Structure formats: C-alpha cells, structure tokens
Amino acid sequence: MTAIIGKHLRLEEYLKYDDGTDSQYELVAGELVAIPPESPKNVQISLFLLVNFLKFVPVNRLSNKVEIVVAGSRATTRIPDLVVLTDELAIALEGATRSTITLDMPPPALVVEVVSPGKANEDRDYRYKRSEYAARGIAEYWIVDPQINAVTVLILVDGFYEETRFSGNTAIASTIFPEFQLTVEQVLNAGESNAGNAIS
C-alpha cells in the first residue's frame, strides 16, 4: 500500500474524495493510502468463502466492498476482503449512497482479511487491524494467510480477541457460523479443481 503524500483528510473529506480514477483507498490516521489490486489467488479465496457463507446468511448480509470506519485519534477506514453484516447493520445501510459502516452504526458480525505477501501486509492484518476491529466491537475476525497455510480465527471476549489458529485438514471453527464445515486446506485451495467438492 502506498501513502499519497500531503493528503491528510478528515473523515468527511475522505468520504467525498474522488481523484477521477478507479483507484481504491483506505484512510489511515488521516492519511490517504492507495490499495493495490488483490492477487487472483486472494480474490478466489474471498469469493469461495462468500459462496459458502451464502449457505447460512442471505446475500444482503454479505459484502466484499463495504468499508468500516474504525476508532482512532485520527480517522481510519478499512476495506476488508469480506464482511458479514448483522441484520441491524444491513438495515442501517439500506438506502445509503456509499457502502460505509460509520461509527454510529452497529459493528459487523464478522470480517475476513486474506493476507498478501510482505511484512507490511502481515503487520496490518495481524497487528493494526486486530486492535482496530476489537475496538470497533467486531465479534469475529478471520485472518486467512496463504503464506503460512493457516486461518486464524479471533473471537471477541471482554473487548479483546482470543485467537485459535487452524491449519491443514482441520475444520475452521466459528461462533458466527457453527455449522461451517470447511477445512483450511479447502479454503486455501479455493478455485482449484479439487476445491469444487467442498460445495455440495
């Protein structure tokens, strides 16, 4: 991710910002940060999870485009790879002109981040977003990491995340989706010929 020098914005300015391109940005401590396109592998993984989450929730409860305003002394927004909305949040977003979950809205039920290679990406997903999402009251946070072939599920308990790391043929355990049956291997192999067996 590349910061755009000299572009420190308040949240209201960021929400109105348009540079006339298709570039996507997050606001990090008031600084405009460009988000590079995801790799095809990461896109496949998040779409595979979306398709499987649709077994449990209607399509209006899922988004791979929504941004979340997280708490901080300077405004910060995050755009997770996948978000599961609560019923209350889905209602709050109805009729909105922009898919932005503001601080006055309920938090999402679950967010998923698929980690891209590199230390900066690891730090962002494992450290910064972990504390931001916990402070925002998001009940469950999945970190899907193809680099280490693992999925870390963080469950919010008394304001802090308790983590469990899953790997290999271990089924991913979720409090939001207790019926979820997929293994880490099935999720990380999303889009490949043998992964199709997971959707029955």
Question: What pLDDT does 6 receive?
Answer: 57
Find out whether 168 and 185 touch, Cβ atoms under 8 Å. Answer: yes
Report residue 73's pLDDT band, with 50, 70 and 90 as the boundaries: low
pLDDT digits (tens, 9 = 90+) for 114-144: 999 999 999 999 999 999 999 999 999 999 9
Strands 110-114 and 140-145: parallel
pLDDT digits (tens, 9 = 90+) for 76-120: 899 999 999 999 999 999 988 889 999 999 999 999 999 999 999
Find out whether 155 and 175 touch, Cβ atoms under 8 Å. Answer: yes
| Token pair belonging to 71 | 């708490």
Which phi-psi region, left, alpha or beta, contains residue 79 (left: φ > 0; alpha: ψ -120 to 50)?
beta
pTM recorded for the entire structure: 0.87
Find out whether 160 and 131 touch, Cβ atoms under 8 Å. Answer: no
Cα 111 to Cα 18, 60, 82, 103, 154: the distances in Å are 26, 15, 6, 16, 10
